Amino acid sequence: MPPKRQRPKISEKVGGGAKSAAPTAPPEPVKKFTAGVSTSGRGQKIIVYGGSGIGKSSLVALAPTPIFLPLDDGSVNLRDPYTNEKVQQVQDADGVPPCTFAETRNALQQYSIYDKFETVVIDTATVLQDLSHQYMFDTIPHEKGQTVNSIEGYGYGKGYTHMYDVMKLIIQDCDELIRRGKNVIIIIQSTIATVANAAGDDYVCDAPQLYPGNKITPSIRDLYIQWADHVLFVNHANTAVKDKKIKGDVTRAVFTQGQLHFKAKTRVLASGEVIPDVICFEDVKDDSIWQYIFPEGGSDVQAKTNTPPVP
């Protein structure tokens, strides 16, 4: 019986060549850190949502020097409440604003557009989510390689997971603007959402109209709410805060702290001040909420009227 052949070692030539180890990336340089206080010039991440016609776009028009990506008809003919001029919008050489998901991303990534503006406004993410479907069909094939023309065509739950990943791209685009010091406000329509309650019966509440997710697919709504510094709910109310005083008999208000029946939140401001739970929004010239969020520079209204910001 011939002797058993030994398996060659990795370093020996096999098949006419030497087997080498997989290439490795060069080590990343070690960055040194130290302790200190934040000096970041990042912008604010804000969601404004509410029912159709409640005045979301009008409220956002009062934010510091805004420019709109008007995906929704709500801001196409929007005018500045003080100058009566149309608000600035992102548009092509023919005066046409972005009409597709890809065009919206393209516009968000053209940073020079926003040099003269402090606030970039997406109006609305509800429409943008609808536009994301065609972008998804164009860029993400079925796992077997064929083209898909419906969200259900990817298989059970898979299309909604793809939609989540696609809508996350907008967050990434907005984050780069935030890092460049721009405020980003995303306007969203409101819907009645069912909330799962581990402690008892499920219940309903007002929430941004984005895909809510389920047991097997992630929630786009939660993704956007978690991303935002402030989630502001515009709705009708009987009492609100104006100039840090309770004011009654107003028809609209901005709700900043969530309750069981609606979603909302705010972060503590850089000054350490906490925004009141309800802020007055009497009319299209009422910028009370922006005086709280942007006290250092004030709202666009303050720049026009030379009125000092809320101390």
Least-confidence region, from 5-14, 22-31, 106-115, 198-207: 5-14
pLDDT of 19 over the 90 cut? no
pLDDT of residue 5: 60
pTM of the model as a whole = 0.83
Domain boundaries, the chain: 42-231+256-273
Fold entry, domain 42-231+256-273: Rossmann fold (3.40.50)
Q: Are strands 183-195 and 239-242 parallel, antiparallel or unpaired?
A: unpaired
pLDDT of residue 7: 56
pLDDT tens figures, 207-261? 999 999 999 999 999 999 999 999 999 998 876 677 767 665 568 999 999 999 9
**Of 280, 292, 231, 229, residue with least CA distance to 258:** 231
Express as a percent the part of the chain with pLDDT over 70.
Answer: 84
Mean confidence (pLDDT) of the chain = 87
> Could you tell me the two tokens for 178?
């935030």
25 band by pLDDT with thresholds 50, 70 and 90: confident
